[in-house]
């Protein structure tokens, strides 16, 4: 397994936010994590990436093409990242985006990605006395990422002047810097206009061709349309997982999370006012 957890648990002052989660992600897989507000999804992400240290349980990662001596990998190449910092998990190849757009607003789109590329190439990339051509390499890598996420045409624009959808795409580009093994995307379509959701979705599908992805997403059409597997959290517990259609047909899941969700149905029925969508915040 590329990424796995065993009995992963996080408590806050007696409240259990993540409760004994056993989770595994395979290489090349796109797994969406869904559930209602307070289900523990973002806390789960924070545990995977070292933002939070678990109360109990372990997180293990099998990074590809990285030096076992520097990563602390065991004989099978697996690294225990339970107590690793966000910086350490990122250098290993586990990158994430956030619910709230997290970019440098006053610098160019290209510079946002270039800095991320440089950061993920290790300590030597920040040495003052160095060959200027290596910075050209960082710019070239940034431009390649911008081409992939559809922002090459606005590379010189300051990030604050992008549309919200473009900023979400830029966040994915920043997460791609350093060519990670796993991308964790936290609600990449949140706040994005309906016209831009398809574009963001297409980028995620393209990135999933050569990266494993764990996706928190509130848009059920996106989840059901692009996921290889869906994992369902409720009250911090992993209560179901499987292929999208199997999860959608589960009566327990429909009752607890999907609220009678039907693909392409609106989130609210104007006739009776009942909520038929999913809140995945």
**3-101+182-258 sits in which CATH class?**
alpha beta
* pLDDT > 70? residue 197: yes
DSSP string covering 198-211: HHHHHHHHHHTTTS
pLDDT for 228: 97
pLDDT for 102: 77
pLDDT in tens, 62-88: 987 554 444 556 556 799 999 999 989
pTM: 0.82
Handedness of CA 131, 135, 93, 98 (dihedral sign): positive
Higher pLDDT, 28 or 261: 28
Q: How far apart are CA 93 and CA 96, in angstroms?
A: 10
Q: What is the average pLDDT across 255-273? A: 46
Cβ proximity of 230 and 244 under 8 Å = yes
What does the domain layout of the chain look like in residue ranges? 3-101+182-258
């Amino acid at each position: 397994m590329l990424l796995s957890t065993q009995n992963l648990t996080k408590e806050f002052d007696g409240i259990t936010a993540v409760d004994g989660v056993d989770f595994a992600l395979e290489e090349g897989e796109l797994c969406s994590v869904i559930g209602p507000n307070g289900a523990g999804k973002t806390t789960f992400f924070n545990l995977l990436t070292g933002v939070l240290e678990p109360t109990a349980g372990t997180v293990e990662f099998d990074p590809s093409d990285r030096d076992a001596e520097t990563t602390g990998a065991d004989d099978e190449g697996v690294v225990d990242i339970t107590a690793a910092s966000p910086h350490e998990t990122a250098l290993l190849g586990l990158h994430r985006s956030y619910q709230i757009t997290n970019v440098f607003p006053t610098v160019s789109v290209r510079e946002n990605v270039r800095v991320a590329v440089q950061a993920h190439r290790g300590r030597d990339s920040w040495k003052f006395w160095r060959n200027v051509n290596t910075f050209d390499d960082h710019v070239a890598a940034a431009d390649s990422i911008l081409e992939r996420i559809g922002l090459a045409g606005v590379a010189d624009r300051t990030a604050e002047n992008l549309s919200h959808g473009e900023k979400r795409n830029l966040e994915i580009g920043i997460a791609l810097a350093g060519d990670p093994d796993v991308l964790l995307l936290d609600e990449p379509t949140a706040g994005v206009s309906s016209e831009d959701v398809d574009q963001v979705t297409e980028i995620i599908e393209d990135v999933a061709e050569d990266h494993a992805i764990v996706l928190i997403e509130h848009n059920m059409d996106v989840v059901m349309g692009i996921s290889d597997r869906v994992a369902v959290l409720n009250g911090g517990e992993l209560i179901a997982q499987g292929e999208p259609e199997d999860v959608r047909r589960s009566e327990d899941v429909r009752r607890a999370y999907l609220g009678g969700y039907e693909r392409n149905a609106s989130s609210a029925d104007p006739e009776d006012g009942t909520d038929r969508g999913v809140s995945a915040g």
